[in-house]
Amino acid sequence: MKITEILAAGPSWSFEFFPPRTEAARAALGTALAELEPLRPSFVSVTYGAGGSTRELTHEIVVGIHRDTSLTPMAHLTCVGHRRAELTEIVTRYRDAGIRNILALGGDPPRDVELPPGELTYAVELVRLVREVGDFSIGVAAHPEPHPRSASKADDRLHTAEKLAEADFAITQFFFDAAHYFDLVEGLRAHGVSKPVIPGIMPATSIGSIRRMAELQGSEFPRRLAAKLEAVADDPEAVFRVGVDEATELCRELLAGGAPGLHFYTLNRSRATRIIYEALGLAPEGVPGPAPAERP
């Protein structure tokens, strides 16, 4: 099913996974998929490593989800370091495997690997290439705060509007203050773009890792949230609970403000997503929530 059709039918609830690099990580992904499938998400997505470092593994997981589960998958794809012919081949393989959803990203080059020059520079160019290959539903990324490489917020909003005008929907990077999301949506509307923008949610269940990821993508880590987490820093379970509770309230605020759904960055674990899902009343009837003693 195409995500455009899903979004046209009402709010969407989606989960994101990344390709595992070890056998233990592969087992964790399998467990997360098995535990989250009963929640009947609208779709799931699988990330793509910088410079194509997970090209085959991403393809394997996306096609496996399509073939072996009831889930609707979306493949991430970046253009950095790729020639046009390579990208066309990747998209053609997805088309031939029955995949109908792609998240088109510019991508960031890896810090420790020198890549050959790519032939595409911007995500909007990748959107056009995907359109040429097949009938896909195409998403792009949006940065509520905005992208750290943007010259200004106004510049970021303009470029996001330009690529979203050619794509079908956007998914945001994670953030911790709903005001950033609503500002993004209003900024896009000011440029005449009103296509769905799905907010990305990542509960702050680990202080160090969330801080690092937030710094990399240019997200603000609110002092209020930091203070709550640091107050219980010696108790990992308490940190987890604070992060999940804060994320749940963020979700409620976003939905009350008209967000067209929620996209959960699962980090290949299910517990936080299942707790939030249950708290929001999204879990299908009869699906049990996680046990209180279950660890993340």
Position 126 in a domain = yes
The DSSP bridge partners found for residue 200 are: 174, 263
Does a structural domain hold residue 74? yes
Among 16, 125, 145, 246, the active-site one is 16
Q: What are phi and psi of 105, to 5 degrees?
A: -125, 145
Residue 149 has what pLDDT? 78
- 194 domain-assigned: yes
Assigned domain for 290 exists: no
106: domain CATH number? 3.20.20.220
Total of domains in the chain: 1
Domain that residue 50 falls in: 3-279
249 is catalytic: no
The whole-angstrom distance between residue 171's C-alpha and the CA centroid of its chain comes to: 6
CA–CA distance, 123 with 146 (Å, rounded to integer): 16
- For the chain, how many residues are written? 296
Task: Tell me the DSSP string of 189-222.
Answer: HHTT--S-EEEEE----SHHHHHHHHHHHT----
In this structure, are residues 144 and 172 in contact, taking their beta carbons and an 8 Å threshold? yes
Average pLDDT, consecutive stretches of 10 residues, N- to C-terminus, the chain (296 residues)? 97 97 94 96 93 86 97 95 94 98 87 72 96 98 86 92 97 95 97 97 86 77 88 93 97 98 96 96 81 52
Token code pair at residue 26? 């592969």
* pTM: predicted TM-score of the whole model, two decimal places: 0.93
Q: Is 110 exposed, middle or buried (0-12, 13-18, 19+ CB in 10 A)?
A: middle
Considering the domain boundaries, does residue 292 fall inside one? Answer: no
Quick check: is 285 in a domain?
Answer: no
Residue 97 within any structural domain of the chain: yes
Q: Is residue 295 part of a domain?
A: no
The residues that bridge with 77 in the sheet, in sequence order, are 104
Q: What is the largest CA-CA distance in the chain?
A: 53
